[in-house]
Amino acid sequence: MEILRDLILILIPSLLVGAVVYLLLKDFRKTETERQKHSNDAEKFRLVAPLRLQAYERMILLLERIAPSQLIMRNIQPEQSAASLQNVLVSNIRQEFEHNLSQQVYISSNAWELIKNAREAVVSDINSAAERLNETATATDLAQLIFEEEITGDSSTLYRALEFLKQEVRANFF
């Protein structure tokens, strides 16, 4: 009987100590895992944030560069036909867009969709302006028509995309 009592007196404290150690180690492991995850998340943000911010900057620059007034000022040539200017403008938009395709990885899907819509709207505006001119029209005629449409028309797709990008940058980085 005395052996059983001694055995119980030894086993109960041992089991209690074992249970406490197990719970402490479990809690420590959970805390350490959370700390490591938080540290990894902070490191990822530290490494990726500059790339994301640069992507937003490049997308804003893309939208500014494909604005019709900017395109025309960079690409119009003296004695150029309207058809030639149309081709140059559309080609320039496609090149600018293709040059920045990889940036979609770093920006939101909504932002990317707005950028694609803006690009398509600008190309559509250029093409529709060119269709309204006759075959002998000059680049100056096309440029004037595009400028008039930009002033009076609804080029809000491009500016909506610009504003959306700016708001996302402010929300995510500042």
Q: What is the pLDDT of residue 155?
A: 61
> What DSSP state is assigned to residue 80?
-
pLDDT average per 10 residues of sequence, the chain (174 residues): 84 91 93 88 84 96 95 93 96 97 96 97 94 93 90 78 96 88
Quick one: tokens of 42?
């902070």
Please tell me the distance from the alpha carbon of residue 63 to that of residue 122, in angstroms, as a whole number. 10
Q: What is the pLDDT of residue 132?
A: 94
Return the ∠ at Cα 101 (arms to 97 and 55), rounded to 5°. 100
Q: What is the pLDDT of residue 96?
A: 96
pLDDT tens digits for range 69-107: 999 999 999 899 999 999 999 999 999 999 999 999 999
54, 55, 57, 58 alpha-carbon torsion, rounded to 10°: 120
Return the ∠ at Cα 30 (arms to 24 and 32), rounded to 5°. 100
